[in-house]
Amino acid sequence: MFSLIRDTLLSQAVTLWRVFRKLFVKADTVEYPDEQPYMFPRWRGRIILSRDPDGEERCVACNLCAVACPVDCIALQKTETEDGRWYPEFFRINFSRCIMCGFCEEACPTNAIQLTPDFEMAEYVRQDMVWEKEDLLIDGTGKYHDYNFYRVAGKQVAGKDKGEALNEAEPVDVRSLLP
């Protein structure tokens, strides 16, 4: 009986001492939002659409992000410029459904869609969590600075003729018999 009381009291005294000691330790929490935490560049937060190094929209409306999305919260429609460049007529993300899994970024063949370290996306009205292309598209290249899909792919667009993409030879002259 005596030993039981002794053990219990001792345990409580030790706990009290340990808590008391923490009064003099520097706190790990910060005064958010006055003080901002460091976010790692590859944190999976708010989604953006980036531009290629030439300043054109990177998104080619291939629909791979939409199909990769496990909650199906991305919807878009392909359209085309006069010179044959594909781009989304609209691009919509329903952030109230988004789970920030990053599958869309992994699926994107042009590095257009990227997740950013911004996580501050609370809204009072759920409808405001539906973002359109105007809200998503940024002016820079995001995390990937150099990649320009249309400079690699064989499709002809304004400013890049056939044979001018990466590793391409001059277009074939069908009428020539030379090897």
CA nearest neighbour of 130 among 96, 178, 164: 96
Q: How far, in Å, CA of 69 to CA of 103, rounded?
A: 6
CA-derived radius of gyration, the chain:
27
Residue 76 or 142: the one with the smaller Cβ distance to other proteins is: 76
Number of residues this chain uses to bind other proteins (CB under 8 A)? 51
| Side-chain half-sphere CA neighbours of 69 within 13 A | 21
71 in contact with other proteins (CB under 8 A): yes
42 in contact with other proteins (CB under 8 A): no
| Number of Cβ atoms within 10 Å of the Cβ of 147 | 16
29 in contact with other proteins (CB under 8 A): no
CA nearest neighbour of 77 among 93, 91, 96, 64: 91
Q: Residues 86 to 105: which contact other proteins by CB under 8 A?
A: 86, 92-94, 96-97
49 in contact with other proteins (CB under 8 A): no
Tell me which of 47, 48, 49, 74 binds other proteins, using CB under 8 A: 74
Tell me which of 6, 42, 145, 162 binds other proteins, using CB under 8 A: 162
Tell me which of 100, 121, 129, 137 binds other proteins, using CB under 8 A: 129
Q: How many residues does the chain have?
A: 179
146 in contact with other proteins (CB under 8 A): no
- Ramachandran quadrant class, 100 (left: phi over 0; alpha: psi -120 to 50; beta: rest): left
Tell me which of 47, 49, 66, 136 binds other proteins, using CB under 8 A: 66
3-class SS at 48?
Answer: strand
Give the residues lining the site for other proteins (CB under 8 A). Answer: 60, 62-64, 66-67, 69, 71-78, 80, 86, 92-94, 96-97, 109-110, 126-127, 129-130, 132, 149, 152-156, 162-163, 165-177, 179
